[in-house]
Chains A and B, each alone.
Chain A
């Protein structure tokens, strides 16, 4: 289940946020993520479990390696939570309709 508030809770931890941010541009293993972070591999694995439970990260298997990547669905749920669905959608509609009407007035 993807729940935006759960995702926000998961991102409330600074180290977890860093782990998530590192996954933004590439898929990698817990070991690769831990490199250069000053955090142990097992700590990174625990953070990844929380991110996974929050719907922000998905795991794929590559042989014996477990690779992590950002789950678009969780990110989209966050955006919806932040944006305000109908306000944003109706606002975009208003702009489009007024653009069309202004063009018709000019021609």
Chain B
């Protein structure tokens, strides 16, 4: 006890500086997190809102419903949402990296209007995500949407106007806008990484007769590894927890995005706040968090070396 006081006294400035943050985190992050985990084991109903923590103990019932009970309405939608989320996250993360890398390589040269080009490239990244959902929801419309106007009326690439927001095309209707919104961020980071690579490395490779592809393959890509590792992590977290774009694109937010457009976050949100099934919602959130912790752990094992090497 005395030792604790001593420590507190000795570092009082540091603790004082951190105190408000710690309090905020405790009350609004740790406490809710604990409650959320606990809620997953309760049979929570709408009429039990006032005493939500006194709801009857349900054991693993919610988890069983979510994972194993084939009759549970939550479950059928959940697998669709899970499949879509995985597909969406992988496609968006990789797509963002590829486009961002290409753009970064293009901008990392001397040419007129370079800074203008870089600034203009950042534009989509400033557009709020709910606007992205709204805007692309309008652009994907079958008859009046800009995408179909360009594809069919202007370029004549197709001779019919495809439906984007219903059916299997839906997944692309959410992937493409997300890539559009996010690649400038990747570009920015990768560009900063590219500028950190010393020029003479390339010159040496050039003298040794390396082709542009070889110097990319053996110099640029490995040296950029710390940057794209971080971007990969950022993309994984950000896209698994993606919510705004999908919710704004389909049926004014309250609607169901459809079997091919539903993501985990929209699914859980619907279950929690529209069906008021907090127990299942919490159980699903806990499972989602568990899954993310696993993913992040795998990521950490894979990229530990390049992170510590920095």
Q: Do A and B bind each other?
A: no
- Seen from chain A, the residues whose Cβ lies within 8 Å of a Cβ on chain B are none
